[in-house]
Amino acid sequence: MQERANGAGKTRFIALAAGLVLIAGIAGWFAERLLSDPAGALSSSDRRAIETIVRDYILANPEIIPEAMENLHQRENAKQLASIRDDVEAPFPGAVLGNPNGSVTLVEFTDFACGYCRKSVDDIAELIKRHPQLRVVVRELPILSPHSVDAARMALAAAEQGKYAAFHDAMFAAGQPGPETIEAAALQAGLDLAKARKAGESPRIQKELDDNLAMARQLGFNGTPSWVVGDQLISGAVGVDRLAEAIEAAEQG
pLDDT over 80 at 141, yes or no? yes
| Integer Cα distance of 245 and 238 in angstroms | 11
Full-model pTM? 0.73
pLDDT over 60 at 13, yes or no? no
pLDDT classification of 31: cutoffs 50, 70, 90: very low
User: Stretch 90-109: mean pLDDT, rounded?
Assistant: 97
Q: Tell me the angle at which helices 27-35 and 2-24 cross, rounded to the nearest 10 degrees.
A: 150
- Do 58 and 22 meet the contact criterion of CB atoms below 8 Å apart? yes
User: Stretch 233-239: mean pLDDT, rounded?
Assistant: 95
pLDDT classification of 18: cutoffs 50, 70, 90: very low
Q: How many CB atoms lie within 10 A of CB 90?
A: 11
pLDDT digits (tens, 9 = 90+) for 49-72: 788 888 888 888 888 888 787 777
pLDDT over 50 at 121, yes or no? yes
Please give the mean pLDDT across all residues of the chain. 86
What is the residue-wise DSSP string for 18-83?
HHHHHHHT-HHHHHHHHHS-TTS-S-HHHHHHHHHHHHHHHHH-TTHHHHHHHHHHHHHHHHHHHH
Q: How many CB atoms lie within 10 A of CB 7?
A: 10
pLDDT classification of 46: cutoffs 50, 70, 90: confident
Choice between 82 and 138, residue whose per-residue pLDDT is larger: 138
pLDDT classification of 80: cutoffs 50, 70, 90: confident
User: Which residues belong to CATH 3.40.30.10 in the chain?
Assistant: 85-252
pLDDT on residue 50: 82
Beta bridge partners of 108: 138, 227
Q: Which CATH class is domain 85-252?
A: alpha beta
Among candidate residues 233, 1, 7, the one with its CA nearest the CA of residue 109: 233
pLDDT on residue 211: 98
Distances (CA, A) of 31 to 16, 19, 20, 63, 118: 12, 11, 10, 20, 45
pLDDT on residue 42: 59
pLDDT classification of 209: cutoffs 50, 70, 90: very high
pLDDT classification of 154: cutoffs 50, 70, 90: very high
pLDDT on residue 41: 54
The Cβ-side half-sphere exposure at 216, using a 13 Å CA radius, reads 25
- Do 174 and 181 meet the contact criterion of CB atoms below 8 Å apart? yes
pLDDT on residue 3: 42
Q: How many CB atoms lie within 10 A of CB 152?
A: 27
| Integer Cα distance of 75 and 119 in angstroms | 28
